[in-house]
Amino acid sequence: MDSADIRARWLKFFETNNSLKLPHTVVPSASLIADDPNLLLVNAGMVPFKPYFLGEAKPPYKRATSVQKCVRTLDIDEVGKTTRHASFFQMCGNFSFGDYFKEGAIALAWELLTKSVSSGGYGFSEDKLWVTVYQDDDEAANIWEKQIGVPKNRIQRRGMADNFWSMGVPGPCGPCSEIYFDRGSDYGKEGGPIVDEDRYLEIWNLVFMQNIRGEGGDKNSFPIIGELPAKNIDTGLGLERTAALLQGVENIYEIDTTKMILDKASELTKTKYGKDEKTDVSLRVIADHTRTAMMLIGDGVTPGNEGRGYVLRRMMRRTIRNMRLLGSQDLVIAELIKSSIKAMGPQYPELVTGGERILSVAQSEEDSFNQTLKSGTSIFDIAADQSKSTKSKSLSADTAFKLHDTYGFPFDLTLEMAREQGLEVDESGFKKLMNEQRDRAKADAKAKKSGHTDLTQYRAIVDKFGSTKFLGYENIKAESKITGVLVDGKAAAEVSAGSEIEVMLDRTPFYAEGGGQLADNGVIKLANGAVVKVEDVQTPVPGLFVHRGSVVSGVVKNGESASAEIDLQRRLAISRAHTATHMVHKAFREALGETATQAGSENAPGRFRFDFPSTSAVPTSVLNDVESRVNELLIADLQVDAQVMSQDAAKALGATALFGEKYGDQVRVVSVGDWAKELCGGTHVSRSGELGLIKLLSESSIGAGVRRVEALVGHDAYKFLAREHVLLNSLTEIIKGVRVEELPQRISDLIEKMRSMEKEISAINTAKAVTAAGDLLKKSKSTGNASVIIEQLGNGISGEDMRTIALDLKGKLKTGIVVLATINDAKPLLVAVVSAEAIKLGVKAGELIKLGSTILGGGGGGKDDFAQGGGSNADAITKAFAEIAKHIQGKLN
């Protein structure tokens, strides 16, 4: 049974085809980009339903089922070393929100697992299945034995660490019941899961969410402080693990969707899986990471140096590196990604339709990493030479971290290269630096969303007063009541003037930052006369608008009535920018194709930026066409409408959904005439003519495979063009007798003339230097059997001219070594040439330049016969020459 069939059977069974007549709402997999400030990526099947379990939102259905895409990053370094770890997996789940409980969950699980394949089940043999329950859960044990008929000896009880679930923080929790499959005596000892979990493989976990957990404790013991008012069910069956059992293979790396990628890696590297452990580890890493990378890119993640982008970049670079370890020096990522799309496409058709974009992003990252390998290797070589020269046997943690963090050099590659040089790496120091960076990143992310406030403070407000009602689409002002006041993350009854404050209201016209749109500013005026200036609005927990600012006057008291009013001019300017973004997005898709889908944006007063996937710069002609197209549609003064409808209706309408965004069953579609239609929760103008003017300012790269367009709209665009006009007039005044349209050519001619003059000056300087080179021959010194020239030339000589002079000198020496220096723009430049005879004696130009450049505070390298480099400290030339001379003497004497 292939993976696509396993997935389809799961959804069909819970949607319509179970004997208990408990139809579930099929919920599509959420994006891997988690809608949760505490999560980088969705890491469990229940994550999209978390607000319902926590009581932060009311579930729109009593029963639900899904097959959720998940990525776990904690075990990335362990992937491949065993056949158990994987970074991407799919979790099949069925969920009950205050509806059926233990009896229903247990009966449904047993029915699907044991029902025959011909009847739509998985066909597991009943006598191969074992179950575990929590040690005190007599209810679950009795259901398994009395109602399902599982023999008592195949029902085992386990403690809190194994069979009691919680989120690790105060909140919902409850006992679990796990279902295991006995793989037989070839896989281990008899005695059930409590004896051997390699032989008895867990396939399904049923969580009975019935309790409330308190503070403290660990996974073996934590306080249970009460019962939930409504009992819930959360279950999870690992699709890949189930596939391994149903396909009769040894592990998850041999199932259909993974093996297809692994086989492609074997083909490209001409290696065979199962030949030796080292090769197998690399092939498993490649198979796992390629699939995960493909799924992440498919959901809109792009490689970067932070957050999700860093996870993606790390996985892609580990993939490429392992391909190189297996002997492939070619560009390989495209073929691997294609095999991943072929493997997963039957389950996720959007991977096929978005294949061109996914390939584009992946290939661009591979090109970037090839450059990283070159620059990183050069830096590593310099650091390794320094360690050896100081008799150190270890590479510092700072060097390893710099290679990893600044240049994207994989740490395990640094380890391997160090071992080849006979060096160790300060791994503990490196891990400490990584942890410090990770802690800073987590703190920054948390501060952005929650302002350093414990989220339980916000949840308590939602629990007591419900969600904030947003009135901002229709109103700029609203009469409200204060439902919460926080200062420095702590609840406050009243706050005086001059204090920073967070205010929660039951109703608000303020738009909270989201979807690329910046938050509204404005004021909150209390009935007692106090005034709060609002400078930011966030939603740290779903449904709660947190107004951040300062108390301007009076005393703010919790529970007071208040009037909230936004800054109308700022809102209008932001709304113009947001509508302009939609129009530019549509125009780019018309010009470049569907792959130019928005991958990020920011809508601020009078300006906006728009990110989209592209492996190369957008031609100026295309930018001009896009700008012309959108401005023509401003003149057409199209109606801008917003309608709320189902996702299916939005798709039928042709509305565009953005990568990485999470949408509910009901979505808001913003339409600019019949032209641009997009799912969006932001604020917009009423007609396109209100935008006035759109001016694209720039187009540039912001990372591998991602381009950014920055633009102005409305009065800001007009002011920019007015300044440009003044500048143009100033240039025509400076360059007399030239019409405006002739300026580009005239300025180009002047620049070309200047460059020609610079070349003439350089040629004169070089001629002088070559003439003086004859005098340098007289300064050559005999060291061993070689003639050595180490001299500093006059300032301002180019690197190419330095090479000419050095080669000229070497040609006049039989066994010659020439090292020359100059200063250009206050920075030292080094060149070294070594004759074939001197190379045989052990002197190499590349080693001379690495040594000298390091002392000069820079880097460089080259071949044995020619190398060049430089640095930033011109005062160190004398010291560099001394060390180079010492090195040469050591080789020749």
Beta strands in 635-714, from DSSP E residues, in sequence order: 640-646, 666-672, 676-679, 694-703, 706-713
Whether 602 and 715 map to the same domain: the answer is yes
Q: Closest Cα to residue 392, out of 415, 423, 413, 419?
A: 423
Per the CB < 8 A criterion, the answer to whether 611 and 602 are in contact is no
Q: Which of 33-42, 389-398, 777-786 has the lowest mean pLDDT?
A: 33-42
| Beta strand extents in 632-693 (DSSP E only) | 640-646, 666-672, 676-679
d(CA 419, CA 393): 10
70 marked ligand binding residue = no
Say if residue 607's pLDDT is above 60. yes
Is 739 domain-assigned? no
Q: Which of 832, 829, 836 is nearest to 884 (CA)?
A: 832
Q: How far apart are CA 112 and CA 122, in angstroms?
A: 6
Written as six digits, the tokens of 140 are: 């679950």
The CATH number for 858's domain is 3.10.310.40
How far is 538 from 449, CA to CA, in rounded Å?
A: 7
**26 falls within a domain:** yes
Looking at the structure, tell me whether residues 441 and 494 fall in a common domain: no
Which residue reads 């993350």 in tokens? Answer: 489
**Nearest one of 299, 186, 294 to 661, comparing CA atoms:** 299
CA 480 to chain centre: 39
Does residue 660 surpass a pLDDT of 50? no
E strands present in 582-692: 600-604, 607-613, 640-646, 666-672, 676-679
680 assigned to a ligand binding site: yes
Axis crossing angle, helix 355-389 with helix 277-298, rounded to the nearest 10: 130
Q: Which of 249, 276, 291 is the last residue of a domain?
A: 249
Report residue 815 as tokens. 């066994």
Q: Is 311 helix (H, G, I), strand (E, B) or coil?
A: helix
Angle between helix axes 307-325 and 256-269 (nearest 10 degrees) is: 50
Residue 439: predicted pLDDT: 67
Q: Model confidence over 666-679: pLDDT tens digits?
A: 889 999 999 999 99
Q: How many other CB atoms are there within 10 angstroms of residue 799's CB atom?
A: 15
- Answer yes or no: is pLDDT of 763 > 50: yes
d(CA 450, CA 448): 6
Which two structure tokens, joined as six digits, stand for 218?
A: 């660990």
Cβ atoms of 588 and 619 closer than 8 Å: no
**Dist CA 875 CA 873 (whole Å):** 5
d(CA 780, CA 784): 13
Give the pair of three-digit tokens for residue 113: 């697992």
Residues 6+ apart with CB under 8 A from 560: 481, 482, 526, 527, 528, 530
What span, in angstroms and rounded, lies between the C-alpha atoms of 79 and 312? 15
Based on the domain organization, do 390 and 342 belong to the same domain?
A: no
Give the residue-averaged pLDDT of 135-142: 95
Confidence grade of residue 449 (pLDDT, cut at 50, 70, 90):
very low
CB atoms within 10 A of CB 737: 7
Q: How far is it, in rounded angstroms, from Cα 415 to Cα 395? A: 9
Euclidean distance between CA atoms 796 and 638, whole angstroms = 60
Tokens of 548: 């951040």
pLDDT band at 426 (very low <50, low <70, confident <90, very high): confident
Most confident by average pLDDT, 314-328, 499-513, 819-833: 499-513
Q: Please, what's the b/e burial string for 846-879 (b: 16 or more CB within 10 A of its CB; e: otherwise)?
A: bbbbbbbbbbbebbbbbeebbbbbbbeebebbee
Lowest mean pLDDT among 108-112, 456-460, 630-634, 710-714: 456-460
Residue 693: per-residue pLDDT: 95
Helix (H/G/I), strand (E/B), else coil: 124: coil
| Nearest by Cα to 65 from 97, 101, 110 | 97
Final residue before a domain boundary, out of 447, 465, 496: 447
Together in a domain, 200 and 82: yes
d(CA 571, CA 471) in angstroms, rounded, equals 14
Is there a single domain that holds both residue 377 and residue 477?
A: no
User: Per-residue pLDDT for 20 more than 70?
Assistant: yes
**Is 760 a residue whose pLDDT tops 50?**
yes
Cβ–Cβ under 8 Å, residues 696 and 582: no
43-51 mean pLDDT: 89
What pLDDT sits at residue 745?
86
Least confident of 52-66, 386-400, 432-446: 432-446
Same domain, yes or no: 561 and 581 = no
User: In total, how many domains does the chain have?
Assistant: 6
Task: Report if residue 562 sits inside a domain.
Answer: yes
Mean pLDDT on 583-603: 87
Q: Same structural domain for residues 239 and 291? A: no
Percentage with pLDDT > 90 across the chain: 54
Which amino acid appears at position 205 of this protein?
A: N
Is the CA virtual torsion 465, 466, 467, 472 positive or negative?
negative
**Residue 240, phi-psi category: left (phi > 0), alpha (psi -120 to 50), beta (remainder):** alpha
184/214 same-domain check: yes
What is the percentage of the chain residues whose pLDDT exceeds 70? 95
CA quadruple 506, 511, 513, 514: dihedral sign? positive
Last residue of a domain, one of 505, 536, 566: 566
Q: What pLDDT does residue 509 have?
A: 97
What are the structure tokens assigned to 733, written together?
């005044």
**Stretch 451-467: mean pLDDT:** 78
Closest CA to 710 of 688, 695, 730, 732: 695
Q: What is the rounded CA–CA span in Å between residue 93 and residue 68? A: 8
173 labeled part of a ligand binding site: no
Q: For residue 663, how many other CB atoms are within 10 A of its CB?
A: 16
Q: Is residue 759 a part of any domain in this protein? A: no
Question: Cβ of 32: how many Cβ atoms within 10 Å?
Answer: 25
List Cα–Cα distances, 1 to 118, 120, 239, in angstroms. Answer: 12, 11, 12
Please report the pLDDT score of residue 596 as a whole number: 81
Chain Cα centroid distance, residue 274:
33
Average pLDDT over residues 494-507: 94
pLDDT score of 442 more than 60: no
The CA R_g of the chain, rounded to the nearest whole Å, is 33
For residue 136, what is the domain's CATH number? 3.30.930.10
In a domain, residue 743? The reply is no
Kindly report, residue by residue over 290-330, the tens digit of the pLDDT: 999 999 999 888 887 778 888 898 899 889 888 988 988 88
542 part of a folded domain? yes
- In 143-200, which residue ranges form alpha helices assigned H by DSSP? 160-163
**Predicted local distance difference test score (pLDDT) of residue 451:** 46
Q: Name which of 139-148, 151-160, 410-419 the model is least confident about.
A: 410-419
Q: Between these two residues, 732 and 107, which has the higher pLDDT value?
A: 107
| Average confidence (pLDDT) over 729-756 | 83
Q: Which amino acid is at 835?
A: S
Residues 557 and 604 in one domain: no
Structural domain includes residue 766: no
Are 601 and 711 in a shared domain? yes
- Which residue is listed with tokens 């007798």? 737
Q: In 3D, which of 571, 569, 575 has the Cα closest to residue 685?
A: 575
**148 and 126 in one domain?**
yes
Work out the angle at residue 638's Cα, subtended by the Cα atoms of residues 632 and 639, and round it to the nearest 5 degrees: 165
- The pLDDT of residue 313: 86
CA dist 429 and 413 (Å) reads 17
Indicate the residue type of 542: P
Neighbours of 493 (CB within 10 A): 9
Q: What was the pLDDT predicted at 773?
A: 66
Q: Do 32 and 156 sit in the same domain of this protein?
A: yes
Position 849 pLDDT exceeds 80: yes
* Spatial CA neighbour of 60 closest among 94, 29, 24: 24
The β-bridge relationship of strands 500-505 and 531-538 is: unpaired
| 582 annotated ligand-binding residue | yes
Q: Is 758 a member of any domain?
A: no
Q: Which domain holds residue 789?
A: 771-892
Q: 64 — phi, psi (to 5°)? A: -145, 155
Beta strands 507-508; 469-470: pairing state: parallel
Lowest-confidence range among 68-72, 141-145, 336-340, 396-400? 396-400
Q: What is the predicted pLDDT for the residue at 452? A: 44
**Cβ burial, residue 203 (10 Å; 0-12/13-18/19+):** buried
Question: Which residue would you say has higher pLDDT here, 10 or 377?
Answer: 10
Q: What is the DSSP string of 558-578?
A: TT-EEEEEE-HHHHHHHHHHH
Average pLDDT over residues 650-674: 78
